[in-house]
Amino acid sequence: MVKIRQVDATMLDKPKPTRAAPKALSPRALERLEQERKFKRMLSKLNDPSAVFEVRFEDTDKPLTVRQRLLRAAQEEGKEIVVRKSDKGWLVALATPERRSRRGRRRASGSAG
């Protein structure tokens, strides 16, 4: 049940300065941060179409979540990648015209009119 009480107006006008200690990251958040660092390190090595990496999963990893994180990290790095299934995880490489998906809408051409 909610408790309500009347207080002095000075409590609102001059609240006590509180120094909240920065919260420590949870183990899962630390793991996500480390995974993101690994993805960015891998993406920095993707400089030509012949470079291909395989990202393998552990039992706790969700494949679609890993794929989304890979694509987000690539977008932040300014690289266009393709992610394809392999026997034990995902294959990651730079996007080439042959590797790009042909599904969905076509990309708008430079001179649409």
Task: Say if 85 falls within a structural domain.
Answer: yes
- Provide the residue range defining the domain that includes 77: 27-94
Report pLDDT digits (tens) over 36-76: 999 999 999 999 989 999 999 888 889 999 999 999 999 99
**How many domains does the structure of the chain reveal?**
1
Report pLDDT digits (tens) over 84-111: 999 889 999 999 888 888 888 877 776 5
Task: Say if 47 falls within a structural domain.
Answer: yes
Task: Say if 7 falls within a structural domain.
Answer: no
Cα–chain center distance at 36: 7
Report residue 89: phi and psi, to 5°.
165, -135
Amino acid 92: pLDDT: 93
Q: What is the Cα–Cα distance from 112 to 106, expressed in whole angstroms?
A: 12
Task: Say if 59 falls within a structural domain.
Answer: yes
Q: What is the pTM of this model?
A: 0.69
Task: Say if 33 falls within a structural domain.
Answer: yes
